[in-house]
Amino acid sequence: MARMREIKGQVRAIEDRLHAIQDRISAAPEGPSPEWTELSGQLESLRDQWKDWTGKLDAAIHRKMVILGHLES
């Protein structure tokens, strides 16, 4: 869970920066900047990490419910 919160914090920071770049691009359209491309790549990587951690969390919750006898494996 801590790693997922950390990922979410990183995503928020990147999204804020992307919004600032988008506002700047809207004022003077010059096409995507290298920073935009880099941040978009980082954001995609964080989304992939989020999916991995969500899967791990779901598996851990399932194991816990089996151990507690609430579910059958």
**Where residue 29 falls among pLDDT bands split at 50, 70, 90?**
low
- Residue 65 and residue 71 in contact, taking contact as beta carbons nearer than 8 Å: yes
Q: What are the boundaries of each domain within the chain?
A: 2-68
pLDDT > 90 fraction of the chain, expressed in percent and rounded: 71
Residue with tokens 């951690």: 53
- Residue 22 and residue 40 in contact, taking contact as beta carbons nearer than 8 Å: no
User: 28-66 as b/e, with b when 16 or more CB fall inside 10 Å?
Assistant: eeeeeeeebeebeebbeebeebbeeeeeeeeeeeeeeee
Kindly state the average pLDDT of the residues 51-61.
Answer: 97
What backbone phi and psi angles, to 5 degrees, belong to 5? -65, -40
